[in-house]
Structure 1
Amino acid sequence: MSSNNGNGRLTTITQETNITPTPPKTSNPAASSFEHPLMLKQSSGWSRGILWTLMFVSIAAVAWASVSKIEQAVPAQGKLEPQDNVNEVQIPIEGVVKTIHVKDGHRVKAGDLLVSLDPTVSQAQENSFQKVRTVLEQENQFYQAQLSGKEDTSPTVSIPAQFVSLTRSRAVLLAENRLFQAQLDGNAGEMSLSAEQRQRVKSELEELTSRVTSAQLEIDQLQKQYSQADIKLKSNQEKLKVNEQILTDISELALEGGISRIQYLNQQQEVESIRAEIAQLQEEKIRLQAAIAQAQAKVQNTKDIDRRDLTARIGNNSQRIAEIDSQLSKAIVDNKKRIAELDSQLSQTNQALKYSVVRSPVDGVVFDLKAHAPGFVAKSTEPVLKIVPQTNLVAKVSITNQDIGFIREGMRVDVRIDSFPYSEFGDIKGTLTWIGSDALPPTQLQPYYTFPATVTLDQQYLLSQQRKIALQSGMSLNANIKIRERTVMSIFTDFFNKTGESLKFVR
């Protein structure tokens, strides 16, 4: 018998035992032509071996896939940056660059001179403001001296004409008031006066003395009467105390009938009489006090009669002096306001001079220098250069929103630098040290939400043929963040599960 063994070849199967088939019960003569003996042969052993081999390999593959583990990693893109932020050096003021002290790639230390602006304009403004301020201060010193009574103070600067006239008028008015006050005080003789002035002052003083003496005699008489009334009042007050005590003592006897009611009433009348006399004396004292006060006022009025004109003139002069002082004080206040404005402008100018010299804030390397020649116009809104700190480089990467769920700080990372092929230069190991707490919004370069992260590198170079290749800030990279180990079987089961899940949905 010929059969197909599966490999495209025909195999004849024979059997040592002869099998004689039972002829069919038919009368068809044509069937007799096929009545031949069937010869069967036992199959060879190598086909069974193939089946067993396939079964063993399948079982071994499943066992290996169930036990063997591979690392699962999340890809992330980014670039190398200094561990400290790059410092953008900006000039707070606009100006023209006078001197450039560095070039791109120069290493500088904190405090080193970078760029100098032209300070000509700022220095001219400072000198102008300072001169005006000095003049205003000297004016105020002169006005203050006038207000304090130092009329002989000469101004060291040119004073406005109106204030010169005011200060002269003030000096004349003060001199007149001193003369009038000397006449009032009676010491005009100590001043330098003319003979006529001296005689007038003398006669006025003599007349005033005469009237005051007459009024003083009247005061003395009234005071004497007041003293007599006071003595009599005190005597009656003592007498009243004695009689009131007697009245108190006999009041109980009168109630008990020890003395006659007439005696009691007489004593009571005596007490009332003394009280009436005391009241009269008190009224007399009040009258005398009023008379004394009136006499004293008369003395004062007598003194004021001859002084009234002087006092009025002093008052008028003082009012005029006060008006002048008010104008001088206002000038001082206005000057102080102007000085305050100048101080503010001087402060701004000094700050501008300070900002005209730009120094390095940190140690690092000069990068992206905008000014390459004197005359460059520096703008306050744009950095004139950048300083890359001399610190270790770290990998700043962006992790997509769908991968962030399995990533934790402390995971190991393989960093591959795009500038150096991995097959030749390998990668750099690192550790994920920081993950942003919130996602960054999409941008044109990354049109999806990403989480910023930082990878600290184990080394700052690549090794190629025993040669160290230094890394540079700004190099792009691809990072593989190792999140976990999974069996090969779990990967296949996830694939089949996802395929099965996709069949449940219409779309």
Structure 2
Amino acid sequence: MSVDQEIKMPSTNASNVIGFGLMVVFLLLGGFGGWAAFAPLAESSVAVGKISADLDKKNLQHLEGGVIENIFVKDGDEVKKGDMLLKLRDVHIKSQLDIYKAQYDDALALYARLVAQRDSKDSVVYPDELENESIKQEQDNIFYTTKKSIEDEKIISQNRVVQLENQIDGLESLMRAKKSRLESIKEEILEWEDLYRQKLVDKLKIRELDREQNTIEGDISQTASEIAKLKEAINETKNQQLLREKEFTKQTLGELVQAKSMLFDLKSKILSVEDTLLRTNIVAPIDGTVVGLNLHTIGGVVSPGRDILQIIPQNSKLIVVAQVKTSDVDKVKVGLMADIRFSAFNVQKAHVVEGKVVHVSADSFMDEKSGMPYYEAKIVVTKKGEMQLVDYGFELVSGMPAEVMIKTSQRTVLSYLVKPFTDMIARGFNEE
């Protein structure tokens, strides 16, 4: 072998090594590029939230509010339907109820008395529900006093009519006597006129009888007029009595209507106050667990309409209520899958539980702490996620914090790497 050949050999070996190295690099780049071009990469929207009971969760509020007399439960207590949770003071309500019941008893007794007056009964029949004897006695006194007054007026009117009728009888007897005397005088006049025609007597006696006839006829007319006046007085007395009876009946019926209306009004008020009194005992509407108790002080005030506590039903399905950024809401849709992580479980390995978006709010909310707007998303644990919870030994509790990664889309690693450059180029063209 010549010296020249020995000198050239290392150059050939170096070229081979370089070529091999380049080939390896190109293969790696090509493999990575192929993998980057086709390997899927999930794009996610990250949201924070907490575990909450499903829609069956019961929020307890109080319509009127009040002052706390006693608290019987605390957060985490298991309760049965009908169990006492809180007791509000009821002294004022009971006092108001007693007033309405007393007024109702008065109205009930009044109504019974007016019915007896309307129907001209001999006594008042009270309903069985009225037990207050003093009220009954008071209405009985009014009833019998009124009844006696009416009967006395009727007796006075009847006596007046009898007196007038007796006067009429006397005048009619007098009139009959006068009429009889008148007939007798007329006969005497005829006889005396006959004698006068025979010239046996003078006309003096005839004139005397004529004067007496005229007097009697005048007396008869006056007596008839007096009888007519007495009959008119009788009719007037009877009409006045009838008018008084009608007026009394009308007044009784009017008072009956008012008493009936008063009864309905008081009954409505009693039912309303009884309902309010019943609500001073705040009881559990369902079986479940007490959470979110906002009141802890005896003598504290319960505001009307504000949440007092919540009860999570037994075996209630738990969901994750998460706050989605307003910038991501256009990508978060119902039906998207999600990965849920629970930071409350102190484990080294990051356990992921599968979930699914079942609701996205139509409008945004404002976070009271941060003041930032957000949309509310509800994520339910899937069947697979439930099995994962069992495998991990996790037991979810309402209020537990959670981190949710909602899988909004799929793209390749390559598109993810080049996206900043494509976005920059697009902005450059837009600026031009």
In the alignment, does 2:145 pair up with 1:174?
A: no
- Residue 470 of structure 1 aligns to a residue in which SS? coil
Counterpart in the other structure of 2:102 = 131
Asked whether the equivalents of residues 106 and 365 of structure 1 are also in contact (C-alpha less than 8 Å), the reply is yes
Counterpart in the other structure of 1:240 = none
Counterpart in the other structure of 1:383 = 307
Alpha-carbon distance in structure 2 between the residues aligned to 1:153 and 1:179: 29
Alpha-carbon distance in structure 2 between the residues aligned to 1:500 and 1:395: 40
Q: 1:144 aligns with which of 101, 112, 115?
A: 115
- Residue 385 of structure 1 aligns to a residue in which SS? strand
In the alignment, does 2:401 pair up with 1:452?
A: no
Mark the CA change 1:492 to 1:309 in structure 2 (over 3 Å): closer, same or farther. Answer: same
Alpha-carbon distance in structure 1 between the residues aligned to 2:59 and 2:175: 90
Mark the CA change 1:304 to 1:138 in structure 2 (over 3 Å): closer, same or farther. Answer: farther
Asked whether the equivalents of residues 49 and 401 of structure 2 are also in contact (C-alpha less than 8 Å), the reply is yes
Alpha-carbon distance in structure 1 between the residues aligned to 2:174 and 2:157: 22
Mark the CA change 1:333 to 1:147 in structure 2 (over 3 Å): closer, same or farther. Answer: same
Counterpart in the other structure of 2:289 = 365
- Residue 486 of structure 1 aligns to a residue in which SS? strand
In the alignment, does 2:276 pair up with 1:352?
A: yes
In the alignment, does 2:355 pair up with 1:435?
A: no
Counterpart in the other structure of 1:107 = 78
In the alignment, does 2:18 pair up with 1:47?
A: yes
Mark the CA change 1:145 to 1:56 in structure 2 (over 3 Å): closer, same or farther. Answer: closer
- Residue 503 of structure 1 aligns to a residue in which SS? helix
Deviation per residue, 1:93-134 (Å, 9 max, x gap): 344444433333211122222223344443343333223322
Instruction: Return the letter of the residue paired with 2:245.
Output: I
- Structure 1: tracts of 5 or more residues without a match: 1-13, 18-38, 184-195, 210-302
Counterpart in the other structure of 1:339 = 263
Counterpart in the other structure of 2:183 = none
Deviation per residue, 1:402-458 (Å, 9 max, x gap): 33344443322110113236752412111222233x231444556665432221113
- Map 1:206-245 onto structure 2 (within 5 A): none
Counterpart in the other structure of 2:43 = 72
Q: 1:310 aligns with which of 234, 256, 266?
A: 234
Asked whether the equivalents of residues 59 and 307 of structure 2 are also in contact (C-alpha less than 8 Å), the reply is yes
Alpha-carbon distance in structure 1 between the residues aligned to 2:111 and 2:172: 43
- When the two structures are superposed, what TM-score results if normalisation uses the length of structure 1? 0.60
Alpha-carbon distance in structure 2 between the residues aligned to 1:52 and 1:89: 73
- Residue 335 of structure 2 aligns to a residue in which SS? coil
Alpha-carbon distance in structure 2 between the residues aligned to 1:149 and 1:417: 83
Asked whether the equivalents of residues 83 and 392 of structure 1 are also in contact (C-alpha less than 8 Å), the reply is yes
Q: 1:482 aligns with which of 407, 413, 428?
A: 407
Asked whether the equivalents of residues 124 and 140 of structure 2 are also in contact (C-alpha less than 8 Å), the reply is no
Query: Percent identity among equivalent residues?
Result: 18
Mark the CA change 1:161 to 1:151 in structure 2 (over 3 Å): closer, same or farther. Answer: closer
Instruction: Return the letter of the residue paired with 2:242.
Output: S
Q: CA deviation at 1:480?
A: 1.3
Alpha-carbon distance in structure 1 between the residues aligned to 2:333 and 2:295: 44
Alpha-carbon distance in structure 2 between the residues aligned to 1:308 and 1:198: 11
Alpha-carbon distance in structure 2 between the residues aligned to 1:371 and 1:444: 20
Alpha-carbon distance in structure 1 between the residues aligned to 2:18 and 2:114: 128
Alpha-carbon distance in structure 1 between the residues aligned to 2:367 and 2:75: 30
Counterpart in the other structure of 1:468 = 393
* Aligned positions, number: 369
In the alignment, does 2:428 pair up with 1:503?
A: yes
Instruction: Return the letter of the residue paired with 1:427.
Output: V
Asked whether the equivalents of residues 461 and 468 of structure 1 are also in contact (C-alpha less than 8 Å), the reply is no
- Residue 138 of structure 2 aligns to a residue in which SS? coil
- Residue 349 of structure 2 aligns to a residue in which SS? helix
- Residue 81 of structure 1 aligns to a residue in which SS? strand
In the alignment, does 2:64 pair up with 1:93?
A: yes
- Map 1:183-198 onto structure 2 (within 5 A): none
- Structure 2: tracts of 5 or more residues without a match: 126-134, 177-226
Mark the CA change 1:501 to 1:68 in structure 2 (over 3 Å): closer, same or farther. Answer: same
Mark the CA change 1:369 to 1:468 in structure 2 (over 3 Å): closer, same or farther. Answer: same
Q: CA deviation at 1:69?
A: 2.2
Q: CA deviation at 1:82?
A: 0.8
Q: CA deviation at 1:349?
A: 2.1
Q: Which has the larger radius of gyration?
A: 1
Instruction: Return the letter of the residue paired with 1:362.
Output: I
Asked whether the equivalents of residues 164 and 234 of structure 2 are also in contact (C-alpha less than 8 Å), the reply is no
